[in-house]
Amino acid sequence: MESARAGFQKIVAEILRRSPAEDAAGIAWEIACGPTVAEKTEVVEFRAGLLRVRVPDEAWRVNLAAFVPRYLELLNTMLREQVEKIEFVSPQKTPQRKGAA
């Protein structure tokens, strides 16, 4: 089973390394955190090594903080640009995306 997982990760990493950094970060986040967390969170920005992820509320922010070391490890095996820090932001603190009204 481990060799199948390693093969899958290698394929995913190759695909993501060819994608634009922000798109790749969003896809890699969903893989790294799993479907339950991915359903409740959203990557809002990836720039200069900082990944900003919108979370539903403060409780989610606090709980996910404990997983940051594992998330960084997984993300950095998949992405071309390294993630140095993950910042969880609540909806009211989320920066507006470019072009958003």
Tens of pLDDT, residue by residue over 11-42, are 888 888 888 888 999 999 999 999 999 999 99
Torsion on CA atoms 71, 77, 83, 87, rounded to nearest 10: -10
* b/e per residue 87-99 (b: at least 16 CB within 10 A): ebeeeeeeeeeee
Tens of pLDDT, residue by residue over 34-89, are 999 999 999 999 999 999 999 999 999 999 999 999 999 999 989 989 999 999 99
- Which pTM value belongs to this model? 0.81
Is 100 part of any domain? no
Q: Which SS3 state, helix, strand or coil, does residue 101 take?
A: coil
Is 84 part of any domain? yes
CATH of the domain at 17: 3.30.300.180
Given a contact cutoff of 8 angstroms between Cβ atoms, the answer to whether 23 and 11 are in contact is: no
